[in-house]
Structure 1
Amino acid sequence: MPITVAIVEDNEDLRLGTLYVLKASPSVKVVGEYEDAEDFLKDVKSNPPDVVLMDIGLPGMSGIEATRELKRRHPRVQVIILSVFEDNENVFQAICAGACGYITKPVMPAQLLEAVEQAFDGASPMSPHIARKVLEIFRQFAPPPKVDYNLTDRELEVLEFLTHGHDLKLIAEKLFVSPFTVRAHVRNIYDKLHVHSKSEAVAKALKERLLPRK
């Protein structure tokens, strides 16, 4: 069975050029070509294609908005963005909308066919410089390296009780120690975390995920 593909591109020359390349391949079947996202979305309600080649700068609804709506309706459809836009914002928004690939124009015929096959097979075809941008973008959202504050097991226990809102007396009862001992643990926790209050300690513990998962 050939891979079914739809083209959404408002530039007629580019759309027809893409159509010509795809029709030359026996492994691909073009099931629709559209000038705008609205007509495309109306047409794919009941029989969506395997892969969509989507421009971003469309009249009316943008390709990114169309991708988001398409993925909401048909999560299994693979969307490859074909665009002249290379800025971080468009790349990031396209990936977040659900696009599996991002190829910058102009596209060589062999690259286009390879991208369609890769998307259908579950890969993420991207122009090399776009792939680098994606890595750079997502590095910005990487969690900070975990800091070792050298909290003892007992201090972690006390800190966990603090996150549950327990006071010193209740913590002492649960740990079978005196409130004075708990207070000493709390002082050590404050010193090691470089905080000055219970609320600061709890906030830091939750933000930096200092407590072991259960």
Structure 2
Amino acid sequence: MTPQTVCLLVEDQTPNQVRMKQALMAAFPDIKVEVVGSLKEARHWLSGEQSKTDYVFELAVIDLGLPDGSGIDLITDITKSHPLVTCIVSSIYDDDVHLFDALSAGARGYLVKNQEPEMIVHYLQRIKQGEPPLSPSVALRLLKHFRTHTVTEQPDIHLTGRETETLALLARGLTIAEVARHLLLSPPTVAGYVRTIYQKLNISTRAEATLQAVKRGLA
């Protein structure tokens, strides 16, 4: 039997818990949604997750303003301990500070809460196509930032063909496993390319990799 996919929903407000859980189940009918309301509860759940064999942890939807701390800290933890999990922010904030802090921590999507439920479902469904779910206001901020910081001259640092392909796919929000399937390579091989890319470009986060891809005309 194929293990069920599970999403960890970290949200402290009951109406928002209900709203987002409904959106997740509408976007992914077979998903199991685990709801917690704090960093402590989320970390407790994560501490026992490794022993589970009846489901696969693939998605986390995380509020940034939690009663016992910032959801950004949890995104950092999950990115380090579960690198194949897609972390999505669900927040009332869409300013540059929250947005870029979350992306730097490893978030691969950012949804603003004050949208119609059907639009939340629409953006979540983009994950199936390997596209990052982004609310319109967030996407506009990213475009403005990248236009402002993109340089016109050619980058001096040379990447090989495979490294260039890998960087382009990373910028689209694909996981290492998804990049591997796309390029018909093994995940360890792709992980090696990612390490080399990060070393060559002197970067350490997916947000920086996306910016580099934009500068090179890959995204």
TM range (shorter): 0.5 to 0.7
**Bigger RCO (CA 8 Å, 6+ sep):** 2
**Which residue is equivalent to 2:76?**
68
Any idea what SS the aligned residue of 2:65 has? coil
Unaligned 5+ segments in structure 1 are 147-214
> Which of structures 1 and 2 has the bigger CA Rg?
1
Alignment of structure 1 residues 120-131 onto 2, 5 Å: 120-131=128-139
Coordinate RMSD, CA, aligned? 2.3
Structure 2 residue identity aligned to 1:78: T
**Structure 2 CA distance for partners of 1:117 and 1:139, relative to 1, 3 Å:** same
**Structure 2 CA distance for partners of 1:145 and 1:42, relative to 1, 3 Å:** same
Alignment of structure 1 residues 41-190 onto 2, 5 Å: 41-45=43-47, 46=50, 49-143=57-151, 145=153
Aligned counterparts of 1:68 and 1:4: Cα–Cα separation in 2: 19
Aligned counterparts of 2:126 and 2:5: Cα–Cα separation in 1: 11
Query: Normalising by structure 2, what TM-score?
Result: 0.59
Aligned counterparts of 1:132 and 1:26: Cα–Cα separation in 2: 26
Aligned counterparts of 1:42 and 1:120: Cα–Cα separation in 2: 28
Unaligned 5+ segments in structure 2 are 155-219
**Structure 2 CA distance for partners of 1:66 and 1:54, relative to 1, 3 Å:** same
Query: Normalising by structure 1, what TM-score?
Result: 0.60
Aligned counterparts of 1:95 and 1:26: Cα–Cα separation in 2: 23
Q: Is it true that 1:10 corresponds to 2:12 in the alignment?
A: yes
Aligned counterparts of 2:100 and 2:62: Cα–Cα separation in 1: 15
Aligned counterparts of 1:24 and 1:120: Cα–Cα separation in 2: 13
Any idea what SS the aligned residue of 1:18 has? helix
